[in-house]
Amino acid sequence: MRVRDARPTDNDALVSLAAQSTMDGDLALRFDREPDYFALNRLAGDTWRVGVVDGDAGPLGCIAVARRTAFLDGEPGEIAYVGDLKVHPDFRRRGVARSLGHWAYAAAQDLVGPHAPMISTVLAGNDAAATLALGFLPGVTRWATIRSASVDLLTRHRPRLSDLGVRLAEPSDEPEMVKLWHRLATRRQFAPVLAGLPFGQPGLEYLLARRPDGDLAGFVGLWDQHDIKQMRVMGYSPRLAAIRLAFNLAAPLFGTPRLPKPGGALGYRTAVNVCADTPETLRTLLRHGCDRLHGKYSFLTVGLDTRDPLAWALTGLRAQPTDVDLLVLNGPRDRDASVHFEIATV
């Protein structure tokens, strides 16, 4: 099948294709990309391409590749991210996804060369999707598990007594934040090398924590991505339907938005650029973030490597996990180091 590069005129067709792509599970989810399908791609890397397969009425499948500058064994290097694989339900199991996967591999080689790391993500246990993304290539390994933890905001997660001072970050804090990021991010494979932080991005604000002596201990972005990506619940399992009923009965008592009916959009924020010197620092930041978001959103999503010491910060926050496998080709030397992956760019 012929795969071509997407054009701006494909936007409406790709938005429609995204609306046909549901991730099934206990919670059936769909990520809509109105009004600009390519807005998320522009955030995914320094240089990017989207490949499409055409049908009679326009694109019936797509995949994206982005080049990123990231830390590999503590040093900056180039990697390729392969993601955004979508095929219209009526055209699955016809070789569309495999053709897109081969195109993405060639496109990634064009962007970063044949020996640079290539990474992709799939829902844990989805072996079919894993094979179609990068899994058809010899040498691809399941490198790590990224746990997307959804912290419900039904009740307040009030900050506990701490010597850390937490406040909203200001643009004047950016140089110090970037310096801390580069000091800590070198410990994590695939963490982006940041030249700056997107303070002007709509719906994004940062909380930062300082120690009594004024030293910056950590920060985290809280991002409402509704302008570029909407998460819709397309169905609840019987168990989650019962949880939704109980949640919605209690929601007015706590001033929390109700969980939507099937087809409705969820109100949530995603943690981005998670940076903390200790799990305790991140825990304090998350509690302050949850307290700040209470009454405005249903939950906060935080994505961390299951091996990351920072994952302890989620203990006691009633986080519901969704695991994602990170697939890697041409990976760095250190397999034991934690990885960093921004679930906000998926």
Domains plus CATH for the chain? 4-144 (3.40.630.30), 150-226+267-345 (3.40.630.30)
The two tokens of residue 120 are 């992709």
- Among residues 273, 338, 272, the alpha carbon closest in space to that of 310 is found at 338
Going by their DSSP bridges, the two strands 75-87 and 118-123 should be labelled as: parallel
- Residue range 321-328: average pLDDT? 91
Model pLDDT for residues 121-154, shown as the tens digit of each residue: 988 766 666 565 566 677 888 999 999 999 989 8
Omega within 30 of 0 (cis) for the link into 202: no
Instruction: Provide the mean pLDDT of the chain.
Output: 91
pLDDT tens string 103-126: 999 999 999 999 999 999 988 766
pLDDT of residue 65: 96
pLDDT for position 123:
81
What's the angle, vertex CA 335, arms to CA 305 and CA 141, rounded to 5?
85
Predicted TM-score of the model (pTM): 0.91
Please compute the mean of the pLDDT values over residues 275-292 and round it to a whole number.
Answer: 96
| Single-letter code of the amino acid located at 177 | M
Instruction: Identify the pLDDT of residue 126.
Output: 66
Residue 12 has pLDDT above 90, yes or no: yes
**Is the confidence at residue 25, as pLDDT, over 90?**
no
Residue 163 confidence (pLDDT): 93
More confident residue, 277 or 243: 277
pLDDT > 90: percent of the chain: 71
State the average pLDDT over residues 207-227: 96
The amino acid sitting at 283 is R
Q: What is the pLDDT of residue 13?
A: 95
